[in-house]
Amino acid sequence: MIFEHPSSTLLYSESKSSVEFEEITLSPIRCTITRKPLELGFLYISKENAHVFPTTDATVKVKALLDEEGEVELTYNPKYRRIHGLTAFYRKHNAQIGDLVETEVLEPFKKYRFRFKKRSTEVKPPPPIRKFTEPIHFVGPPINFRGLTYAPLNENGVIFLFSKVAEDLGITIEGIQVKFPDAFGKRYEKHRGYPITIEFEYRSSDYERHGHPKEGCDLIVCWEHDWKECPIQVIELKSLLKELSSK
């Protein structure tokens, strides 16, 4: 059974040596009916609320008012914290799993009122369907080149495509980094390797637009070469693919 935390007040009990105050729950205790209690006709009392029920070792009788009807006797088992004798009560209300029983403490340890509450039948509207005004994926023109279906649309695509043609260019990459320039490695000519630094851009003019210095980079690799006055050597992959495809 699933319980909601009630509010509480203070009562006291007298002993031979002292007067002891304890916190006793008097406001209604609400619990949800689950399968087993419904089938066997009992109500389960949580540990948090057991302090307002008898604490004897043996099963005891407690007085109860079912809804607004007359007084009846129910059986309470302190060991398992179960109130038995509610089969007819559940049947009368056509109780279903998920319905509620509200327990009001009239006299702690002695007398209680049980009210049946139907679960809420309010149907929540389904979440709105997410609509896309644009396609989820954007792709370039088909190129079908060495496992890459579409042409690059950004710098990341340029880097991936370059990895497919680096060997054709005699270039080996030794490292790629976040800082400028993007990559460094070797460029081989006649079986001899020379150090090279590379910056990847979608368009060659992006190099200048990103504010990179003209020194410190040996080669710009891009998809489109649109920077006519570029002082740095440029490899345009779009043109290179046409050359490699014609071979």
Mark which of 54, 82, 117 sits at the end of a domain: 117
Q: What pLDDT is stored for residue 76 in this prediction?
A: 94
Q: What pLDDT is stored for residue 8 in this prediction?
A: 45
Q: What pLDDT is stored for residue 27 in this prediction?
A: 72
The residue segments making up the domain with residue 201 are: 142-246
117/136: higher pLDDT: 117
In which band, very low, low, confident or very high, does the pLDDT at 30 lie, cut at 50, 70 and 90? Answer: confident
**Average pLDDT over every residue of 16-39:** 68
Tell how strand 192-200 and strand 219-222 pair up. Answer: parallel
Q: What pLDDT is stored for residue 206 in this prediction?
A: 96
Task: Report the CATH number that the domain containing residue 70 is assigned in CATH.
Answer: 2.40.330.10
19/40: higher pLDDT: 40
In which band, very low, low, confident or very high, does the pLDDT at 129 lie, cut at 50, 70 and 90? Answer: confident
Q: Summarize pLDDT for 191-202 with one digit per residue, the tens.
A: 899 999 999 999
**Average pLDDT over every residue of 100-108:** 91
| Collapsed DSSP state (helix, strand, coil) of residue 47 | helix
- Residues 6 or more apart whose Cβ sits within 8 Å of residue 64: 71, 72, 73, 74, 83, 111, 112, 113, 114
**Average pLDDT over every residue of 148-170:** 96
Q: What pLDDT is stored for residue 26 in this prediction?
A: 64
In which band, very low, low, confident or very high, does the pLDDT at 133 lie, cut at 50, 70 and 90? Answer: low
> Could you tell me if 95 and 164 lie in one domain?
no
Quick check: 245 and 145 in contact, CB under 8 A?
yes
Q: Summarize pLDDT for 49-70 with one digit per residue, the tens.
A: 888 899 888 999 999 999 878 8
Model pTM above 0.75: no
Report the C-alpha gap between 222 and 200 in whole angstroms: 6
How many domains is the chain partitioned into structurally? 2
> Could you tell me if 167 and 231 lie in one domain?
yes
The packing angle between helices 237-246 and 155-165, to 10°, is 30
Give percent of the chain with pLDDT exceeding 90: 67
Domain membership of residue 88 (yes or no) is yes
Domain membership of residue 125 (yes or no) is no
> Could you tell me if 154 and 112 lie in one domain?
no
Domain membership of residue 103 (yes or no) is yes
Q: Is pLDDT above 80 for 23?
A: no
